[in-house]
Every structure is written in structure tokens, then in C-alpha cells.
Chain A
């Protein structure tokens, strides 16, 4: 990386689930580095291991090989509390990632209590304002919110600790296209405003091309190829799998007549 040291460095990451004959190697030697303030995308289809990479960074998947470094320091398992002050994750399904019996207020207060923040009141109302929800949403339950509003609560929960890195696992794939645009704009704006670093996982090449400067294509637990946004837009993919994904992202095409 030269003079500029990467904020997050993943080298030869391997993740294995299960034992014996049930052993599944979900991630097989994936390496990438993300610089401070950068937005990095991981694209792949289901089973490619893209979400597992994010979960491994967060300490939610069994790492069986490789090294992970944040700011040059190797990550310990289990991750210390200070790690989560700096790295937070947003999950795919806003219907599953919020506790159904906790109000928005309680959802947001919990990370503050864990990390012993003092000014909880002001932080909660500021976090709600930051994601465009406002004070009227504070004492609602998740079932009283739409999918887009729930995802905003999940973003507020992640941002309330003022992390430097956000890990985004398909943050908009459960949302309607019109709501997706609003959430992507929100994420884009927050990054520009606070200089956040994103690692965004998606199956949608267009979303990644819109959000990320650099990306990695994954398939079957392996890294297929790294690309920059400019290369993606110019369709300069060297691997046929990436080209297939690019073609598929343009919509339906009749089979070539034989």
C-alpha cells in the first residue's frame, strides 16, 4: 500500500463451518485492503462468501486462517469492546435485525449503555435526526415502521457510537427501489459528511458501482477479481464471470439464437 497504510487489511482470510464430512469452506483465501475514507464493495451471488467475509471481520464467523488488521494492529478474538466503537455493522433484513419488543429508544440506548456514554438523551435525538427520522419515531416499535424506516433505525444504531468503519451487508436488498434510492443517498451523504469508511456487500452490481470506488468480485468463496469503479463502468473485466454479472445486471436478454 506504500506510504498510505490501509485502515482495514484482510490477508488470506479463510472461514470454515462445521466439522468432518459437514465441513464447508465458505471463504477460501480472500485478501483486500480498504483505505481510510474509502468505500469498498464486495459483489457476488448467493453462496459466494461475501457476507461471511463481513461477519468474519465483525467476529461473527469462525476464522480458520489468515490475518485481519485494523489500523495496522491484528484483530483479537473475541473482539474487544473498543473494536465495536470503531467498527459497526448494518444487516440485510431490517425486519429481522431489530428486536420486535424494543422501542426505537431502547434499541438506540443499548449500545450507549454498553459503551458507557454519558449524554444518552442528546445522542439518541441527534442520531434520529441524522438518519432523517426525527423525534416522533423515538418511542415506536419496529412493527409500526416501514422497511425503509427500520433500516434507518439500524443505521442510527450503528452510527450512534460514532464508528469509523461501517460494514454494510446488502443494506437495501429488502427495500423497494424508491426506498433504496433514499437509503443509498443517506449512506452516501453520511460518508461524505463524516469521512466514514464503508465495506458494502451486495449482489447488485449497479448498487456497488454507485456506492463504491473499488470492488472485489467473489464466487464460491474465492476472490475472482478486484476492479475499480472506472474499470467496471468501462466494462474492463478480465474474468468471464464478472462479464456475465455485468450482462445480467442490464436486465433480460433473449437467448442467442442458435
Chain B
């Protein structure tokens, strides 16, 4: 089986007064038709990695890699036209907060149809939009179709956003903290939708999150990032027995309903991890 995505030695640098700063330093991984989690603390470079895969590193940042290929297409030399034909069609990204990533002055329906028109006729696009809203378990699809983003709750907005990203049936979905702004019970429903789509459509999913517990229960494999480096790659089911002290520390410092350990074990950072 060929890999959907191959990343080798991805580096992202930003210029600064003190010279270039590398925020992602040599990240390598491959992705098949599976659920891959990327975890790390804020500032570890996980979001930057996700954005670079879509060629969305904001200038003046620069992303370089020895190898960056999507379904055999070399993305390093991709022209703007090639990016346009891939983004939103074959690869999409779900952002953290629907409040900031939906257009506030367009109805959900118009935004969905706009996305669907990439691959479908006008008439078809509308039908697809309605079907997609139902697929993400929005009960009253007709109402949501005509609603503006501010008229929806956070959970609804995030579902609409997922619908928008999936309407072109992409091969790769990058979800950057897709459920962090949602309540825990809604969170699980949204994840179930993603899970079903991976299983039914054979999509590759990159799930970026700071929530180790969620990632370990949802994904197949997990990459752990620290200070721009990939410190460990583990099977999600083995996360409790991870090798790297950073992963162990991150996992143990979570309070548990059953646990009665106090003080909570804290993470002791080692300079060597960042090197």
C-alpha cells in the first residue's frame, strides 16, 4: 500500500531580529488511510506542521522539506495553481474555533455550496450540501442551511465546518483542535462523525490536539512534539507505556477521576529534549 502522505525532514523557519528561528525542526512521518494524532503543548509546532502540509505557512515563514509528497505529488515545488486544485478538493483543514473560521456574513448554505461547486454543478452542489449537513448529524438541516454562523451554537458551527471541509470528499483531512472549543459530550459526537468518515470513505486524518487522553483513545498512532521536534511516535494504545520521558510526563500529569495522587506528578523538562 502506498502512503497518502510522506513527510521527511520538515522545517519551518521565521525570520527574527536575532536571525532565523526554526519553529519546526526536522519532522518526518508517513500517513496512510488512518487516524494520526499530533500532540504537544502550546508552542510545540503542531499547528505549524499541519498548516505547512497545506502550504499555508504564513509569510514571512518558510517551510522546507527533503520530501513532502501527497499521493505521489511533490508539494515542495507546487505552483499556486496546483495548490488551488488540491486545497479544499483533495486535502482540507478543520480549524479550532468555528467562530473565527466561518464567514460571518454568508449563510452556512452559501458557504457549503461555494465549497461544493469546486467539484459539482450548481444544482448538484445544493443537494450535496444538504446531504452533507445530514451526514454530520445536523437534525434540522434546512434551518442550518439558511442560518448565519452567529445563529448556531459552537457544536453546530463546528459540524457545519466539518461538513464544508468534507463536501468535496477529500483524501486527507487535517483537523486542528477540532473539538477543543466544544463541551465534552458534544466533542464525542463530533469525533464519531470523523471516525465514521475515515472508516467509510477511507480518508486519511491528521488530528492535532493538546489533549493526550482524547488522542490516545481516538487515534491509531500518535506523534509527540516538543519544541519543534518530534520526540516520539507511538501506537495510541501504547501511550501509557511510552518511552520518552516527555510523553510519560505529559500523560501522568493529568488528574484522574479515580486517582488520588497528590501532589500531581509534574513534568520535569530536560534541556536535552529540545536539542
Residues of A within 8 A of B (CB): 45-46, 147, 176-182, 184-185, 188-189, 203-207, 209-211, 232-233, 244-246, 248-255
Within 8 A of A (CB), among B208-247: 210-214, 216-218
Contact A177 B257 (CB under 8 A): no
Question: How far apart sit A36 and B190, CA to CA, in the bound complex (Å)?
Answer: 42
A206-B254 contact in complex given A182-B266, A189-B263, A251-B213, C-beta closer than 8 Å: yes
Count residues on chain B whose CB falls below 8 Å from chain A CBs.
36
| Chain A at the B interface: SS class | helix
CB neighbours (8 Å) of A177 from chain B are: 41, 210-212, 250, 253-254
Which of A45, A233, A252, A255 lies in contact with B257, CB distance below 8 A? Answer: A233
Contact A205 B185 (CB under 8 A): no
Question: How far apart sit A185 and B266, CA to CA, in the bound complex (Å)?
Answer: 9
Judged by a CB distance under 8 angstroms, whether B259 is at the interface is yes
A210-B188 contact in complex given A180-B253, A232-B257, A252-B214, C-beta closer than 8 Å: no
A181-B253 contact in complex given A45-B185, A210-B262, A253-B188, C-beta closer than 8 Å: yes
Please, which residue of chain A has its CB at the minimum distance from the CB of B253?
A181
Question: How far apart sit A210 and B254, CA to CA, in the bound complex (Å)?
Answer: 10
Which of A147, A181, A189, A248 lies in contact with B184, CB distance below 8 A? Answer: A248
A252-B217 contact in complex given A210-B255, A210-B264, C-beta closer than 8 Å: yes
Question: How far apart sit A255 and B257, CA to CA, in the bound complex (Å)?
Answer: 22
Question: How far apart sit A206 and B211, CA to CA, in the bound complex (Å)?
Answer: 13
Question: How far apart sit A56 and B211, CA to CA, in the bound complex (Å)?
Answer: 32
Which of A182, A203, A209, A250 lies in contact with B217, CB distance below 8 A? Answer: A250
CB neighbours (8 Å) of B249 from chain A are: 178
Q: How far is the CB of B212 from chain A (nearest CB, A)?
A: 7
Which of B41, B187, B255, B266 lies in contact with A209, CB distance below 8 A? Answer: B255
8 smallest CB-CB distances across A and B, nearest first, come from: A251-B217, A210-B255, A181-B253, A45-B183, A248-B184, A252-B218, A178-B267, A185-B263
Judged by a CB distance under 8 angstroms, whether B154 is at the interface is yes
Question: How far apart sit A246 and B188, CA to CA, in the bound complex (Å)?
Answer: 12
CB neighbours (8 Å) of A209 from chain B are: 255-258
Question: How far apart sit A88 and B196, CA to CA, in the bound complex (Å)?
Answer: 47
A252-B188 contact in complex given A178-B249, A209-B255, A233-B258, C-beta closer than 8 Å: yes
Question: How far apart sit A189 and B264, CA to CA, in the bound complex (Å)?
Answer: 11
Judged by a CB distance under 8 angstroms, whether B131 is at the interface is no
Which of B154, B210, B263 lies in contact with A176, CB distance below 8 A? Answer: B210
Judged by a CB distance under 8 angstroms, whether B265 is at the interface is yes
Q: How far is the CB of A102 from chain B (nearest CB, A)?
A: 24
Query: Please, could you name 18 A-B residue pairs with CB atoms under 8 Å apart, sorted by A?
Result: A45-B185, A176-B42, A177-B212, A178-B253, A182-B266, A184-B264, A185-B264, A189-B263, A203-B184, A205-B257, A210-B264, A245-B185, A248-B187, A248-B188, A249-B257, A252-B218, A255-B192, A255-B196
Question: How far apart sit A207 and B257, CA to CA, in the bound complex (Å)?
Answer: 8
Q: How far is the CB of B216 from chain A (nearest CB, A)?
A: 7
Question: How far apart sit A204 and B42, CA to CA, in the bound complex (Å)?
Answer: 19
Question: How far apart sit A185 and B218, CA to CA, in the bound complex (Å)?
Answer: 29
